[in-house]
Amino acid sequence: MKIILLSDSLHKTGSRSFSLPLLMGFLLLMFLVAAAGATWAGYRYGLETQVAARGEAQANGVLLRLIDEQRHDLSETRERTREHIDALALRLGQLQSHVLRLDALGERLVERGGFDADEFNFSDVPPRGGLAPATGEASSIDVRELIGEMGDLAQVLEDREHKLTLMEGLLTDKALYREITPAGRPVKKGWISSPYGYRKDPKTGKRDFHHGVDVASKENSDVIAVAAGVVTWVGEKSGYGILVEVRHADGYTTRYGHNNKALVQAGDMVAKGQAIALVGSTGRSTGPHVHFEIARGGKALNPHKYLKMVN
């Protein structure tokens, strides 16, 4: 086989002879070199692809770990939030119990103290108001701060409940004292017709000591007890006509004489202001009135002081 060679630089032409086996060997060598290059390129491509895939897998693994960590953090946050909510619910229940007790206590105090129920209405929310906060001034309260404030409020409510309970006891004692202490008139309407002390006897005209006061009133009007106590005597007694005697606390005794009719019996418990007899003129009397006496420890007292007392 001949191969013609051309050269522009030498301005020559020529030919050279190659044997067929040599040419085939050359071509085979070139093919092997090309195949090797292609194989190397494929290897490099596959290696780079594998490295890229490994890197992507590692990135995915890091991302999955981050997602798992976030899920864990979210779960812990939810658990802490649930604990805070449970704590708030418990504290709220305690506060509601305190408020209910205070409401009931307040209503009792209003009733016992004789206050205006409309003014001290514990079933209504206290009126409140104010201007809307400026933009940016309002902020949400922190949960821990809220729990702290609720705790402070619970202590305040406990303190108020304790003090109001003491006040209730004082009012109760005061009301009881008013109930058992003689005070006021033995009739709703009347006037003092004869005072306590020395006077001219209405029958004889002689100077005599009067151990009570006479309160003139309409016949058969109610004679009322000036204090709570126990009836110790009901019946006719010389000079007194029909007499009702009541024993009270602290050694007090009151007597109501000249009645037309007694409305109680010995041994009865009577309340302050209760009708115990009807005004009359029985016994040594010149007209319908109540002879009213008061004594303490068996010693007669001037009823004028007690007639003027209002409680």
Give the tens place of pLDDT for each residue, 188-218.
Answer: 999 999 899 887 777 667 788 888 999 999 9
Q: Where is average pLDDT lowest: 11-15, 113-117, 178-182? A: 11-15
Mean pLDDT along residues 105-131? 68
Residue 241 lies in a domain: yes
Residue 183 lies in a domain: no
Q: What is the mean pLDDT of the chain?
A: 78
Q: For residue 195, what are the contacts with CB-CB under 8 A and spacing of at least 6?
A: 210, 213, 304
Residue 226 has pLDDT above 90, yes or no: yes
State the DSSP code for 280: B
Residue 286 lies in a domain: yes
**How many domains, in total, are found in the chain?**
2
* Of 218, 220, 231, residue with least CA distance to 265: 231
Residue pLDDT, tens place only, 254-290: 999 999 999 999 999 999 999 999 999 999 999 999 9
Residue 226 lies in a domain: yes
Per-residue pLDDT band at 10 (split at 50, 70, 90): very low
Residue pLDDT, tens place only, 57-105: 676 677 777 777 777 777 777 777 777 677 777 777 777 777 777 777 7
Query: How is residue 224 written in tokens?
Result: 């009322």
Task: Give yes or no for a contact between 219 and 277, defined as CB atoms under 8 angstroms apart.
Answer: no
Three-state secondary-structure class, residue 35? helix
Sign of the torsion formed by the C-alpha atoms of 265, 269, 273 and 274: negative
Domain boundary among 76, 109, 140: 76
The CATH number of whichever domain residue 243 belongs to comes to 2.70.70.10
pLDDT at residue 162, as a whole number: 73
Residue 124 lies in a domain: no
Domain boundary among 56, 76, 96: 76
Domain boundary among 42, 76, 110: 76
pLDDT at residue 43, as a whole number: 66
Residue 198 lies in a domain: yes
Q: Where is average pLDDT lowest: 12-16, 43-47, 126-130, 132-136? A: 12-16
Q: Distances from the Cα of 180 to the Cαs of 69, 78, 112, 156, in angstroms? A: 77, 64, 16, 36
**Residue predicted with more confidence, 282 or 114:** 282
Burial (CB count <10 Å: 0-12, 13-18, 19+), residue 248: buried
* Global confidence as pTM: 0.53
Domain assignment of residue 203, given as a range:
191-308
Residue 309 has pLDDT above 90, yes or no: no
Q: Distances from the Cα of 182 to the Cαs of 168, 224, 228, 290, 307, in angstroms? A: 23, 11, 8, 16, 9
* Of 288, 262, 49, residue with least CA distance to 189: 288
Residue 253 has pLDDT above 80, yes or no: yes
Residue 163 lies in a domain: no
Residue 114 lies in a domain: no
**What angle is formed at CA 91 by the lines to CA 152 and CA 132, rounded to 5 degrees?**
65
